[in-house]
A and B are shown apart, each in its own frame.
Chain A
């Protein structure tokens, strides 16, 4: 019997274009977030400004969720053995719905035109619902005993809860519901970042880190219990938030933070045991990501006992840009050239070396720019200087443009090899 997360069924891999369309449009949303900072630096005055909400969702929905859904179209069949029915058609509809929905959401939140929030919720909610139904249909014959397929299911449920809470918030903002906004907002953030994105990251890492970073496997108790344990604590935390039990909420937040730190520390520890003599760029991206998660979680806990506006901002920058964006970028630099290589091998029988499809030096330059942009964002948010925020925004635009250029270069190399 192969241990959890070891079996890869490439035969069920979908067409290259299925995940690719998500990967190509996602960096445009990241660049748009940077452009918003460049044009309106005052949006970082607090986490509650309309501009800050727009930028957050450009990154969280337009970049993160878009890439994650695109990757899931690939990961579910290849790693979990799940065949998504009509994956080409489903991915086209989901991609269109998420792209237009993310634009409407960012515009509606940023401009205060709440009329845009209704189409945004219909498109994002509908797109995600379609994906979740298709994914569960694909997963229905896959045993729940395997860590990655089981945890992917938990992540999909987490995303569904987060989007449902987001729709509730949009209805409340539009005056259609009378709700305690802060309470629903806390639940929305918790489920989006941890129940959905965090659990998905862990489920993917159980396979991707040992396979691509040549490390030992994660400890079996961690892969067996981490996602379920985190989901269970998140449920109890949600009850404490809803019941406005302040001290219980803080204690449970600390437990959730400890669970996240446990995952981050194990990942860093495994990377130190890698059989690589020199860390590659994906490993560097993960190191930036895990370090940022740990610092971001500390900022979340400090923010709960501080009135200062800067802590929630720093937490958001560290977790979204430093944590998720770093790790997602690191995975993209493995996934895209690998898929190009795999499809070339299957279609034409022979593929160039992966380093020729995706050389290291542009990735190294991009990651250096990403790290500089992260540092600039943190300094700019702490100091609150408009010109520093503009500079940080410019760096964010540049880093996402660089990412897109690197992806397009791989596709160019793929097309040339395919035509040769």
Chain B
């Protein structure tokens, strides 16, 4: 089952730190779902730099969902 990291309701930069810790434990070929209050542009740059694949969408209630895959 895909791991979910719910980083909503946290003050910056805690969501960033939380997901970086989760990514450190993410095995190759697996993905996680990240839930946030807003688009994390700095995270996208780090994910691209480190070779992770990611896809983001915004739910009707404004919550940002991001799938992150460790290829």
* Residue contact A11 to B42, C-beta cutoff 8 Å: yes
Is A9 on the interface with B (CB-CB < 8 A)? yes
Question: Which of A339-347, A367-375, A398-406 interfaces with chain B?
Answer: A339-347
A108 to B41, CA, bound (A): 46
* Chain A residues within an 8 Å CB radius of B42: 10-11, 342, 345-346
Within 8 A of B (CB), among A353-373: 354
- Given the interface pairs A1-B58, A3-B62, the reply to whether A8 lies near B41 with Cβ below 8 Å is yes
* Residue contact B45 to A214, C-beta cutoff 8 Å: no
* Residue contact A341 to B13, C-beta cutoff 8 Å: yes
Picked from A3, A10, A212, the residue with its CB within 8 Å of the CB of B41 is A10
* Chain A residues within an 8 Å CB radius of B41: 8-11
* Chain A residues within an 8 Å CB radius of B9: 214, 275
Is A211 on the interface with B (CB-CB < 8 A)? yes
A7 to B5, CA, bound (A): 20
Is B53 on the interface with A (CB-CB < 8 A)? no
B35: shortest Cβ distance to chain A, in Å?
14
Picked from A2, A212, A346, the residue with its CB within 8 Å of the CB of B12 is A212
Picked from A2, A275, A354, the residue with its CB within 8 Å of the CB of B62 is A2
Task: Output the nearest chain A residue to B45 by Cβ-Cβ distance.
Answer: A11
Is A309 on the interface with B (CB-CB < 8 A)? no
A345 to B30, CA, bound (A): 25
A7 to B38, CA, bound (A): 6
* Residue contact A345 to B16, C-beta cutoff 8 Å: yes
Within 8 A of B (CB), among A324-353: 338, 341-342, 345-346, 351
- Given the interface pairs A2-B39, A6-B39, A7-B39, the reply to whether A211 lies near B12 with Cβ below 8 Å is yes
Within 8 A of B (CB), among A254-307: 275
* Residue contact B38 to A214, C-beta cutoff 8 Å: no
Within 8 A of A (CB), among B19-71: 37-39, 41-42, 44-46, 58, 62, 64
Q: Knowing that A7-B39, A8-B39, A351-B13 touch, tell me 5 more A-B residue pairs with CB under 8 angstroms.
A: A8-B38, A8-B41, A211-B38, A214-B10, A345-B46
The 7 listed contacts between A and B (C-beta, < 8 Å) are A1-B58, A3-B62, A8-B41, A211-B12, A345-B16, A346-B45, A354-B13
Which residues of A are at the interface with B, using a C-beta cutoff of 8 A?
1-3, 6-11, 211-212, 214, 275, 338, 341-342, 345-346, 351, 354
Q: Which 3 A-B pairs have the closest CB atoms?
A: A10-B42, A6-B38, A10-B41
